[in-house]
Structure 1
Amino acid sequence: QFLANIRDCDAVAFVARCFVDDDITHVENRIDPISDLEIIETELMLADLESLEKRVNNVEKKAKGGDKEAQQTLRLINLALTPLRAGKPARVAQVDKEDEKAWHMLQLLTSLPALYVANVDEASADKGNELSDLVAKRAAEDNANSVVISAQIESEIAVLDDEEQREFLETLGLEEPGLNRLIREAYKLLGLQTYFTVGPKEARAWTIPVGATAPQAAGVIHTDFEKGFIRGETIAFDDYIALKGEAGAKEAGKMRAEGKSYIVKDGDVMHFLFNN
């Protein structure tokens, strides 16, 4: 069930233990984050191998019968099997742009973009430690990003209100929770960003792909907003904060009217006008 759930995801995060604590045992009775990562990835590679080898005979029969879709699938299966049989993840394979959709349909666990997360102790939450440095090095070798986070700190601040969180983080010399860094790295990995809508009763954050146009962003709220899009009224996030909201931004001339071709920026505060 765990592997099935991963196959429905767009990315995978590898979390490695990067701290020493005699009160928390390790199943292998050692602290070696790289070995832990390799064990996890090996399990995923074996799952991919099993999945492809189960499919290949059936796809070969269809391909020999002239099925063009099967021929493409068979070619991509063989492309994936080459690194997998060499003990490498499928993501190292070079996939042509026209094959990307079919490649994604293979649902290979090791073709997913990866983020490496180093779970450190409280004292190392700011800059990491020697163990997290090893994780960062491994991530760089895999053309992936890494982030340092202390699960202990995150569990402690989860029960605090905003002011208490700020005070607690200040005592540790931290500017923000590690979860914030993790979210930013995950968004970057997935090519996502956020824009905001602000009304008299609530403020909402909406997730959209990087490069989305104003009508596409409006469609995340409701498809009718995209179909009947007229224009968007936009305030840059920094301006909205610095000028203390919509009224101040309007007065300073920082609210812009944007049309259908506008590419939404991360953090934009937007209001949409549309026809019903």
Structure 2
Amino acid sequence: MEVGIIGLPASGKTTLFATLTGQDAQPGFSGKVEVHRGVVQVPDARLDRLTDIFNPRKKVPATIQYIEVGGMDSDSKGFDAQFLQVLKNTAVLCVLIRAFDSETYPHPLGSVDPQRDIAMVDSEFLLSDMAIVEGRIERLEKQVKKAKDEALEKELALMKHCYGFLEQEIPLREAGLSPDEKRILRGYQFLTLKPLVLVLNLAEEDIAKEAEILAKIPQRPSVTSVALCARAEQEISQLAEEDRNLFLEELGISEPAANKLIRASYELLGLISFFTVGEDECRAWNVQNGAMAPEAAGVIHSDLERGFIRAEVVHYDDFMAAGSLSAARDKGKLRLEGKTYPVKDGDILNIRFNV
């Protein structure tokens, strides 16, 4: 899963990226598209415990790739092609919104106003998508005039439908699009269709006001807001592990930034985790909530989905209560499930297949 980190200059993007990934990236103030990439392991105490029990050769947690992208200006020049190309494959956009004052790094617009900055980012997203939709409508109209094509006519009607929402400054994520319509639009990777995490970057003295500050941000579909102090969390992330919790507690930080953003991303995307265990490896996998067993098998390997027969399933909680797989089987908690079984968060799966 890829998560894009963007924001206006001096909002704290690079500081947050360094906090999440441990990489010493340097902030850019040139307005050029600068890209930093880093992979973060998703912490999961359940996987840690399973690894302790099975003692495999390898532990493989789920991962998130964070992509920090510079080049978003405060003068509303729009996004260039390189900026959009980098963000194309991201599943979630994480937008840094500055909520702190600094004489050293003044806000490029001269004052700190989170609501104004959110509106500016929204406007840039809308304009970017409108430009793409306009261009596509123009090409489709030429194509359908030359030859009747039901698929192209359907896409043209959808594009005009989308343009109507964008023209009214309504993001496509709020347009009530059907799964089939989203499938048609998938290749365009519209920014206003992507789930959004608004990250309010606070001053250290405002950490205790987190809930109060977040309450001022309007709630919207497929958008969630979190608040953190990127600078303080970066400093804490550089401490020895045994000291981190102490400093987090002293500052009143209930949850590290990495955990907040991972949880927000999972919730927006509707992702759950399941596990495979054994002597070779214990591994965490992600799948859409509501996915059936064959789809989960396909996440592991396409052959497992193609040749799916049954899945041996035990929930993590039931396994821990039983103490072992054999004990879970004796208690009826380890069972066989078929193609219509919806995988649950925390399931431990062993796929039976034949190809």
Normalised by the shorter chain, which TM-score bucket?
Answer: 0.7 to 0.9
1:67 corresponds to which residue? Answer: 149
- Paired residues of 1:149 and 1:179 also in contact (CA < 8 A): no
Deviation at 1:117, TM superposition (A): 2.1
Report which stretch shifted further, 89-98 or 56-65: 89-98
Q: Deviations over 1:170-222 (max 9, x none)?
A: 33444432321221221121122111122335421111111122222122122
SS in 2 for 1:128: helix
Q: Distance in 2 between matches of 1:174 and 1:202?
A: 34
- Going from structure 1 to structure 2, the CA distance change for 1:98 and 1:262 (only over 3 Å counts) comes to closer
Q: Deviations over 1:102-121 (max 9, x none)?
A: 23344322222323222224
- Paired residues of 2:314 and 2:334 also in contact (CA < 8 A): yes
- Going from structure 1 to structure 2, the CA distance change for 1:71 and 1:275 (only over 3 Å counts) comes to closer
1:76 corresponds to which residue? Answer: 158
- Paired residues of 1:197 and 1:270 also in contact (CA < 8 A): yes
Report which stretch shifted further, 261-270 or 11-20: 11-20
1:87 aligned residue (140, 163, 169): 169
- Going from structure 1 to structure 2, the CA distance change for 1:7 and 1:131 (only over 3 Å counts) comes to same
2:258 aligned residue (179, 188, 195): 179
Q: Distance in 2 between matches of 1:8 and 1:109?
A: 11
Deviation at 1:25, TM superposition (A): 2.3
Deviation at 1:237, TM superposition (A): 2.6
- Residue 202 of structure 2 corresponds to residue 128 of structure 1: no
Percent of aligned pairs sharing the same letter: 37
* Bigger fraction of residues in strand: 2
- Going from structure 1 to structure 2, the CA distance change for 1:210 and 1:132 (only over 3 Å counts) comes to same
Deviation at 1:248, TM superposition (A): 6.5
In the alignment, structure 2 segments of 5+ residues that lack a partner are: 1-81
- Going from structure 1 to structure 2, the CA distance change for 1:78 and 1:228 (only over 3 Å counts) comes to closer
In the alignment, structure 1 segments of 5+ residues that lack a partner are: none
- Paired residues of 1:243 and 1:249 also in contact (CA < 8 A): yes
- Going from structure 1 to structure 2, the CA distance change for 1:227 and 1:90 (only over 3 Å counts) comes to closer
Deviation at 1:153, TM superposition (A): 4.1
Instruction: Identify which of structures 1 and 2 has the higher relative contact order when contacts are C-alpha pairs closer than 8 Å and 6+ apart.
Output: 2
SS in 2 for 1:134: coil
| Residue correspondences, number | 273
- Paired residues of 1:11 and 1:112 also in contact (CA < 8 A): yes
- Paired residues of 2:214 and 2:225 also in contact (CA < 8 A): no
RMSD: 2.9
Q: Deviations over 1:202-261 (max 9, x none)?
A: 421111111122222122122222233343333323344556665675576543333332
Q: Deviations over 1:23-70 (max 9, x none)?
A: 442111211111111112212222222222223222112223322222
1:15 corresponds to which residue? Answer: 96
* Bigger fraction of residues in helix: 1
- Paired residues of 2:101 and 2:107 also in contact (CA < 8 A): no
1:224 corresponds to which residue? Answer: 303
Deviation at 1:264, TM superposition (A): 0.9
- Paired residues of 2:100 and 2:112 also in contact (CA < 8 A): yes
1:256-271 matches, cutoff 5 A: 256-271=335-350
- Paired residues of 1:48 and 1:110 also in contact (CA < 8 A): yes
- Paired residues of 1:154 and 1:179 also in contact (CA < 8 A): no
Q: Distance in 1 between matches of 2:121 and 2:316?
A: 40
- Paired residues of 2:207 and 2:252 also in contact (CA < 8 A): no
Q: Distance in 1 between matches of 2:127 and 2:212?
A: 30
Q: Deviations over 1:98-143 (max 9, x none)?
A: 43322334432222232322222445446615543323x2xx1456
- Paired residues of 1:33 and 1:131 also in contact (CA < 8 A): no
